[in-house]
Structures are given as C-alpha cells and as structure tokens.
Chain A
C-alpha cells in the first residue's frame, strides 16, 4: 500500500524541484520579453531622413500579399510639394490587420523599403473598421514617431514601434553590377538607422545617399 503514497510524494517532488529552477514565463504585460530580431509585428510606412515618404504607390505589396489585405492607390506627385521622390506616391494605403498574416512578403516586395514591420504586436481594436490601418495609422511622422491607434494603452511599448524586422536586400539598391550578390542592409529600421545583424555585416558597401544626408 505504501508505494501508492510514495507515488504521490513523487508528484510533490516535481513541484518542489521546479521551485528552484529559473522561471521561463514573464509577468506580461508588466514585463515583456525581448523579441527576436526578425519578429513580425505591425507595419510602418517609413520616410527618408529628409522627410519625404518612401512609398511610391507601386502596389507591389498589394500584388504580392497572400492574404490580399493591402489596398494601395497611386497618384501623381504634386509638382510644387512632392510627397515622395519621383512621379508617383501612394495616396491611399490601407492594411486590414484582421486579414494580415504577418508574413512580411510586402516588406520583401517593396522596392523602396517603404514598408517595414515593427516589433509591436498588441493591436486590439474596438471595432472591425478600426482594424483597417490607413495612412494616418501607418505612416511615421517626419520626426520618426510612429502613430499608434491607442497610444495610452498600458499594453503598448511604443519603443517597439521603432524596431524593424531586420530585413535585407539580396543585391545593392542601385542595381549596379559591381554590387551584384552583395547583401546590403536596409538603412532604415522603422524610425531610423540600424546596424547590421551579427554575422551578416555587409562589408564594403558604401553609405547610401540617405545615410550621408542623415
């Protein structure tokens, strides 16, 4: 009979043993884990350091999106006050966050690194319409602040909005032959510049125009 009680004690022993092990959980939301560098959070539309929007309204993100959650429409840049470099800018940019699967194909497709993903994933909304992020929710302000629909929410760590998902190009931005095949980090990470990830430094790549300007 006694072995039966012994088995129960064995169960207590498991609990007792765990009490002295390091904890793997965190008391979210008071404490937040450090997320992996390539974490896919909500999107942000970046600007160049001179304040111009990077988005040119080319709709490649919308075309590549497997969830078909992006809606973009381009328009002629106003001649006097261009919104982005070149002829065209995205005057409608909408992402339906309820449909988004956070695959970051849009980030890969973007030819100007206009759309990147941040590390913020808390996106609770009070209605379905609020889940459709428009330019006013996605586009960072010229000083690098990324808007948030509920900035007061205690779940938000607005600092996460300045971290990008560490995406890199396979070839040089300019498409010049001498940089063929050389990996080149995107100069912007959400709100600014970011050093390359460890072990993947892009040696020998000169500073891009934006960097020298910034």
Chain B
C-alpha cells in the first residue's frame, strides 16, 4: 500500500493492519469491508446507527488515551488506530453478552431463530462461556400476535430497536415502539392497532434474536434442514432477489437478499409470505378435459391430442387468425418465448398479448427512450411518480422512492387520484379526477397555479419519472403523455411501470402484437424476415390484436380459439364480466395453468404447469434487468413445464418450437433476440451473479427505441367518475391460495368524498348501489376525503366489478 492516500479514502489501522477505507464510512462498516468483523446486534447496514446494544465496542486511540467506543456510531478518521481484539475489548464484549443474556430465556431448541441466531453465534464466538446470574429471568406472555403475520416474544427481545427503526425509517409505518422503562422496557404495538404493515416480514428477518417470528414459518423447520437457492421474487415486476428455502420438498420461506440494484435486502409481505400458494393442495397435477359435468381428469396423451386436433381444425376452418393467445407474464422468459414462438410460427397467428388489457403501449414498456434504472433514484434530485400507488402495486419500489425522498433528500412529486402511500414523504401532492389527468398534466407542464412549485421542483435534475396506469378506468394515453412530459424535463430518465410479475420479460420475448423477441418491431419487415430466417417459418405481420382486441374478436366471432398461458382474463381483465362472457363463447380454450380458475373452467383442455421454484429460467424486471430464477422443487404430480407442453402440442400439429430444455430455449433467445445478446445463463450464474444484467448490454443492439407520444385527449367531466385501482392483497390466485395472505384481503367497499356523500344522502358505512358501464353491485360506502369531489374509488379484484367504464352512478340504499 502506498503512503499517499487516494482521494476520498483515509488510512486507518485496525489491529496493527494499515488499510485505506472510504472517508465518512462508519468504523464498523469500514472494518467489515477490510475483513475485520466486529460483532453487532443493533447496527444494520441499511439503517441509521443508534449504538444501543453496545456489542460493537472497540478501542480507539485518541489524544486523551485509548478508550472504548461503539464502532457503529464512529466515523473513520485519517490515522485512526483501532483495536478490536485487545483484552479490554474482549472483557467489554463478554460483559455486554452476559448482560444481554440475563433475561434472554435460552429456549433455543424451540426458537425459530435457533441455528441462525446472531445472539447464539456471537455468544459462542465472543461470549464469556458461563454466566454469574442465577436469578429468575424476566417473564412476559409469549408469544403474542402483533399482526396476522408476525408474532412477538418479548422475553427473547434484546431491545436493539432494529424492528422499530425499520418501521419508522424504512417502511414509514411506525406501528411498533418501545414502551415502559428500565428492565420493563418492551417492544409493543399501540393499543388496538395491529402491526398491519406491508413490510412487517422484514422485521422478522432482521431481528437478531427470535423475538419476532413469522406465523407462516413458525415451527415448520429448523435452519439446518433447509435447502436454499437464490432466485427472483415472482410477485411483481420489481424483481427482488430472494433466497428460496425449502425442506422435504415444500417451500417454507423466502428471505430477502441484499442487492444494491433492486431490493436492498427488503421484501414486501406479499413477496415474503406469498409462496404458500405453491404448496396449495389445489394445484393441478393432471391434465383435465371438458366433460359432461365440468372438467374431468384425462391422460396426457388424450389431452395433448385434443388440444392439437382442436387447434388444427379451427385453423383449417377459419385460418390461423381465428386463434389467439393471452398470457405469459407469470412465468419465465423462456416460457414466454416458447409461447410466442408457438403462436407465431406453429399456429401462425399474430394475436397474442401478455398484458391483460390493463397495461401501457407495449413499446413504451419494452424499449422507452431515456429509460431509467431503479438505481437512478439514489442520485435523483427530484422524482415524479404519476401512476399506480406504488405501495399497493410495487411495494419495494415504494421503499426505494421513499428512501430517496427521505434519507437522500430528493424532491418528490406524486400525482394520483387519491391518497397514496408516498404522500407522507412527498414534497408536492397533485390530485385529479380520473379522466381529468390530461388537464392536470397541461397545468403541470405550464407551471400553472399549485402545479408551479411542483414543476420548479422537477426542473432540478437529475429527475426520475415513474409512470404507469394510475387506474384501470383510465386509458394508457395519460401515462404515455406523462412519459413524454418527463423526457422533456432537463436531465430526466423515465421508468414506465406495470405490475404483473414478468410482463416486461414477456414483452421482450415478443408476447405482444407489436413486438418481436428482443424488442424488435413487428411492423418492421426486416426484423420479421430475420426472425423467420431463424425460425424457418413465416412470421405474421404486426396487425395482431391485443387482449382487448382478442376479447372484441371473441365477441364478434372473428376469434374462435384462445390459448391461455398462466392467465385468467375472466378475472384480471379490467371488465371481468365482459371477458368472461367473451371466453364462454369461444369454441376452444386451451389453458396451461397451475390452478383451476374462472377462465380454465370454460376451457376444453387444461394442462397442469410447473410454477415458480419448479422451473429454471430468467425473468426481466421493470428496468430491463434480466435475472435468474432457480429450480429447487420437483412440483406436484404430473405437472410439466409450460414450454414442454407447448412443444408437445406443436409436435402433434406437425410443427416444432425446438424446445428440448429451458437451457436450449435460453440459448436460442440469446441468438434470436437482439437486445438479449450477452444475457446468457452462464453470465448470469457467474460474472454478474445476483445483480443480473440490464439489457441491452453495451455490445448488444436494441432495434427500437420508443419515444412516448403525447396524445392529448379532452378531459372528461361527468357527475361521478370511477377510480378503479389494485390493492396489494386482492382476490388474485397467489394471494387467495395461500393461508397467510388470503385472510388479509380487504372487504370490498366503495370510497366516496364526504361532499358527494352528503349530496347523495350516503352515510359512512351505509349500503349503496354502484352502477357502472357493465353491471352494478351493492356495497358499503366509506368516506375518503383524499379523492377529488366527483370521484369514487373501488378496489379492483376484490370480488366486485361494475365494468371498467369511467362513468358510474351511485345511489343510497334504504
């Protein structure tokens, strides 16, 4: 090491070893990077230090002599001399541990943390070996449920405040806090207020003892009999890295993995506890065929024959354009690619879509110009979030935006029809009536009135513009106009978001009428010719229908057969009743799914598919980051990977998609999809590891770069308009098939402003009838003063639908 310090680095000496560490780092972090582990309980690299547990005491030489100090609260200084293994430090560590264990119950054999417990580990490594305290320990009732998902054992708590600090600093739901004083100090919730946070599971993971345990994992296994594999969370498009842990061929828990680029160690509770659907006894394990009374179990051969002959007879009679495909966003890129190739080359149709009528322009999602990364939030001066309530739809992205707005001091502008999770930390909050978003955008762009201050904040670059569909009754034009506005801001990047897990991957794999694999345009003859050269089959032109078009086609009789890959349009389409009626009129539905759903109940053939943790592959997140998902379990009964099912159907139709393994498909994607050049499994497994690869890489090409178009539309002014938006715990398959999350789905209610309620004679909690574009429903009315007068809010997919029309009527029921 040279004598000259590098700029931004300082020289310190730890245990006689001289080293250079970044200036401003905390001593405990700097030491760890340099290879010296200092024991700790309260310090967590993603939270502010508090110096509560005293475990990280070290000796630092100073002008007044050597003294003990907590290394988690001390920044490194040039020339600092630190001792971490001296006799004084050892004595301090032993003393701290002996004190911490005075009241710790030592019920390690029955504790869920036993075996992976920092208190156990550090007591063995740094503890005194025996205790001088023989007195009775402190007792509390144990364990007490502080929410539906988390249990608290106050006897085990060592009062490190990791959980309370997480709730306050990171997630912004300060629902647990220290109460009482002295030896009576304990962590508790507020009276009659459960720890109902979307992020409560993180406190279980960061608890350094077994004080906080998860109901979903309680007593299911011990850490040493868990098998683990690193993977990517399948619940939304943020792409959090997780560790999937299983025992006896059952997934038992997901743990967040600390990755700088995406989740920074955190997970939302849907991601953490949403694995339970994989173990559901309702999983399909044999193919089923429509019989006289509903679906009957069938053999694979019969089911494959029926699917292939059914598709062929429809192609013969009505041409390939009578077949359409919906889905592909729930699985891996390999499955989506196989799906797209099956439909385009074997069937020969251009009607295919991974979005279920609730998305944006596919080219905007797949290849926007000036696309940002989640990591851009770390250095942003201002952020515009105009789209879904991130806390409900992309919770970990919410944590990242929240961190930027609080800890990193970015100015945050939030525009949404009602209160969102981010409003508390927003600098400027803009509200609008659904349908009047364009009007607000015009005012924001011109800096008129209250939008002036927001525009001034957004002009401070670098800016990140997060845009998406704020509500399902609004068209995708608004989000696109926001993206176009965002690009015009100085030094801005745009991050278009959509919720469904691998929708970005599926679009990149060409599961969209407008796109070919690798972000090529389907209307580009050259790209189609190249692709048909690879595939050896004609590629239909880009005039195919998207999901809304397919539903229309089914209604009109233009489309007669639908292939569903892990999609349930009869529930997920913004107007479920309409989609359901359209599917009921289809001649043939071939569904590949993990569960029976409303859509599969209308199917002719249903194939059981392997799901997450049962198939290997890649997924792409909302910033275009390709990450690996791992296979850990065999899956139920006769279920098979989707690509294998599609290949078998293709073979029976006289074609092939060349899929002999997921790895072979991955190799083909790398060759065929221009933007995915370089994103191989090998590269993901080794060189790039858990960070994944953002495509296109420097030496790959991306054929299109979509520039969002500002398509202004006239503001809609009607008496009562509907804001239809998703909530985190809804009626979706992955929530409802899991024991822990199913009970968290809220009761459906319609939210109305007190002004409108007064006008319509509705009281808070009274019964009302909501009538929309397609149907009406009796609901409970709830007051919500964050809505703009004239707007009502109905959560989507909680079992109530009145259609996706903007205009609604509401009447009080006696």
* A contacts, CB < 8 Å to B: 56-60, 62-63, 71, 73-76, 86-88, 111-112, 175-178, 180
Does B558 make an interface contact (CB < 8 A)? no
Task: With CB as the reference atom, state the residue of chain A lying closest to B114.
Answer: A58
Chain B min CB distance to A123 (Å): 25
Q: Does B130 contact A74, Cβ atoms closer than 8 Å?
A: no
Q: B222–A56 contact, CB under 8 A?
A: no
Contact B219 A75 (CB under 8 A): yes
What residue of chain B has the Cβ atom nearest to residue A74's Cβ? B219
Q: Does B131 contact A (CB under 8 A)?
A: yes
B residues near A59, Cβ cutoff 8 Å = 221-222, 225
- Identify A56's interface contact among B109, B131, B220, B225, CB under 8 A: B109
Known: A63-B224, A176-B134, A177-B134. A76 touches B218 (CB 8 A): yes
Partner of A60, one of B109, B134, B143, B218: B109
CB pair A178–B134 under 8 Å, yes or no, is yes
Q: Which A-chain residue is minimally distant from B153 (CB atoms)?
A: A87
Q: Which residue of A lies closest to B247 (CB)?
A: A73
- Residue of chain A at shortest CB distance from B110: A88
Contact A74 B225 (CB under 8 A): no
Query: Closest chain B residue to A178 by CB distance?
Result: B134
- Top-4 shortest CB links A-B: A58-B109, A74-B219, A88-B110, A111-B109
Question: Is B34 an interface residue, CB under 8 A from the partner?
Answer: no
* Closest beta carbon of chain B to A182's beta carbon, Å: 13
A179 to B: closest C-beta gap in Å: 10
Asked if A87 and B130 sit within 8 Å, CB to CB, the answer is no
Q: List 21 A-B contacts (CB under 8 A).
A: A56-B109, A56-B110, A57-B219, A58-B109, A58-B114, A58-B222, A59-B221, A59-B225, A63-B115, A63-B222, A71-B248, A74-B110, A74-B220, A75-B219, A86-B110, A87-B142, A87-B143, A175-B106, A176-B134, A177-B130, A178-B134
Give the secondary structure class of B's interface: loop
- One of B114, B219, B224, B225 near A76 (C-beta < 8 A): B219
Q: Given A63-B222, A63-B224, are A87 and B134 neighbors across the interface (CB < 8 Å)?
A: no
Residues of B within 8 A of A (CB): 106-107, 109-110, 114-115, 130-134, 142-143, 218-222, 224-225, 248
* Distance between Cα atoms of A177 and B128 in the complex (Å): 12
**Residues of chain A within 8 A of B224, CB atoms compared:** 63
Measured between C-beta atoms, what is the minimum distance from B143 to chain A in Å? 7
Residue of A nearest to B223 (CB): A63
- Which of chain A's residues have a CB closer than 8 A to the CB of B222? 58-60, 63
CA distance A112 to B107 in the complex (A): 11
Chain A nearest CB: distance from B590 CB in Å?
40
Note all chain B residues with C-beta closer than 8 A to A62: 225
Determine which of A58, A71, A73, A178 lies in contact with B110 in the assembled complex, contact meaning CB atoms within 8 Å: A58
CA A105 to CA B220, docked complex, whole Å? 23
For the A-B complex, the count of residue pairs with Cβ-Cβ distances under 8 Å equals 48
Looking at A74, A175, A178, the one whose CB has the most chain B CB atoms below 10 A away is A74
Given the complex of chains A and B, what is the CA–CA distance between A180 and B129 in angstroms? Answer: 10
Distance in Å: Cβ of A124 to nearest Cβ of chain B: 29
Min Cβ gap B521→A in Å is 55
- Residue of B110, B130, B143 most packed against chain A (CB within 10 A): B110
| CB neighbours of B225 from chain A (8 A) | 59, 62-63
Is the CB–CB distance between B109 and A112 below 8 Å? Answer: yes
Chain A residues within 8 Å of B218, by CB:
76
- Cβ-defined contact, B107 with A86, below 8 A: yes
Beyond A71-B248, A74-B220, A87-B110, list 15 extra A-B contacts (CB 8 Å): A56-B110, A58-B109, A58-B114, A63-B115, A74-B110, A76-B218, A86-B110, A87-B107, A87-B142, A87-B143, A87-B219, A88-B219, A176-B134, A177-B130, A177-B131
* Assembled-state Cα–Cα distance A75/B219 (Å): 6
List of B residues within 8 angstroms of A56 by Cβ = 109-110
Q: Which B residues are CB-close (under 8 A) to A111?
A: 109
Assembly CA distance A71 to B133 (angstroms): 36
Bound form: Cα–Cα A62–B248 in Å? 13
User: What's the nearest-Cβ distance from chain B to residue A56, in Å?
Assistant: 5
In the complex, how many angstroms separate the beta carbon of A95 from the nearest chain B beta carbon? 16
Instruction: Check A180–B130 contact: CB distance below 8 A.
Output: yes
Q: Which residues of A contact B248 (CB under 8 A)?
A: 71
Chain A residue numbers with a CB within 8 Å of B109 are 56, 58, 60, 111-112
Q: How far is the CA of A200 from the CA of B142 in the complex (A)?
A: 39
Expressed in whole angstroms, the minimum distance between the Cβ of A145 and any Cβ of chain B is 27
The answer for the CA separation of A59 and B221 in the assembled complex, in Å, is 8
Q: How far is the CA of A127 from the CA of B721 in the complex (A)?
A: 71
Select from chain B the residue with minimum beta-carbon distance to A86. B110
**A112-B109 Cα distance, complex, nearest whole Å:** 9
Query: Which of chain B's residues has its CB closest to A171's CB?
Result: B130
Per the bound structure, the CA–CA distance linking A5 and B222 in Å amounts to: 73
Give chain B nearest CB distance to A19 CB in angstroms. 58
A63 to B222, CA, bound (A): 9
Question: Please, how many angstroms separate the alpha-carbon atoms of A74 and B110 in the complex?
Answer: 9
B132 touches A177 (CB 8 A): yes
CB distance from B637 to the nearest CB of A (A): 22
- In the complex formed, the residue of B with least CB distance to A177 is B130
* CB of A105 to closest CB in B, whole Å: 14
With a cutoff of 8 Å between Cβ atoms, the chain A residues found around residue B133 in the complex are: 177
Task: Report how far A62 CA is from B109 CA in the complex, Å.
Answer: 12
State in angstroms the CA–CA spacing of A21 and B220 once bound together. Answer: 61
Within the complex, the shortest CB–CB distance from B104 to chain A, in Å, comes to 12
Q: Which A residue's beta carbon lies closest to that of B215?
A: A76
Give A62's nearest chain B residue, CB to CB. B225
Report which residue of B218, B222, B224 has the largest number of chain A beta carbons within 10 angstroms of its beta carbon. B222
B134: shortest Cβ distance to chain A, in Å?
5
Point out the residues of chain A lying under 8 angstroms from B130, CB to CB.
177, 180
Task: Quote the shortest CB–CB distance from A43 to chain B (angstroms).
Answer: 18
Which residues of chain A are near B110, meaning CB under 8 Å? Answer: 56-58, 74, 86-88
Q: A residues within 8 A CB of B142?
A: 87
Cα distance A177–B135 in the bound complex, in angstroms: 11
Residue in chain A with minimal CB distance to B222: A59
Give the distance to chain A from B713, nearest Cβ to Cβ, in Å. 57
In the assembled complex, the CB of A205 is this many whole angstroms from the nearest CB of chain B, namely 15
- In the complex, what distance in Å separates the CA atom of A57 from the CA atom of B221? 10
Chain B residues, Cβ within 8 Å of A87: 107, 110, 142-143, 219
> Which residues of A sit under 8 angstroms from B107, Cβ to Cβ?
86-87
CA distance A86 to B108 in the complex (A): 12
Chain B minimum-CB-distance residue to A111: B109
CA distance A175 to B220 in the complex (A): 27
CB closest chain-A residue, reference B106:
A175
Residue in A63, A87, A112 with the greatest tally of chain B CB atoms within 10 Å: A87
Q: How far is the CB of B334 from chain A (nearest CB, A)?
A: 35
Chain B residues whose CB sits within 8 angstroms of the CB of A63 once the complex forms: 115, 222, 224-225
* A-chain residues with CB within 8 Å of residue B114 when the two chains form the complex: 58
- Within 8 Å CB of A74, what residues of B? 110, 219-220
Q: Which residue of A lies closest to B105 (CB)?
A: A86
User: Which of chain B's residues has its CB closest to A174's CB?
Assistant: B134
CA gap between A62 and B224 in the complex, in Å: 10
CB distance from A206 to the nearest CB of B (A): 14
Give the distance in Å from the alpha carbon of A157 to the alpha carbon of B248 in the complex: 37
CA distance A111 to B114 in the complex (A): 13
Q: Which residues of B contact A175 (CB under 8 A)?
A: 106
CB distance from A76 to the nearest CB of B (A): 6
> Which residue of the partner chain A has the closest CB to B107?
A86
Nearest CB of A to B279, in Å? 14
Contacts of A57 in B (CB 8 A): 110, 219
Measured between beta carbons, the chain B residues less than 8 angstroms from A76 are 218-219
A111 CA / B132 CA spacing, docked (Å): 22
Closest chain A CB from B629 CB (angstroms): 28
Residue numbers in B under 8 Å from A178 (CB-CB): 134
Q: How many Å from the CB of A177 to the closest CB on chain B?
A: 5
Q: How far is the CA of A75 from the CA of B134 in the complex (A)?
A: 31
Bound: A73/B224 CA distance, A: 13
Best-surrounded residue of B107, B109, B114, B132 (most CB of chain A within 10 A): B109
Query: In the complex the two chains form, what is the Cα distance from A74 to B142 in whole Å?
Result: 17
Separation of A71 and B225 alpha carbons in the complex (Å): 10
Q: Which residue of B lies closest to A85 (CB)?
A: B110
Chain B residues, CB < 8 A from A177: 130-134
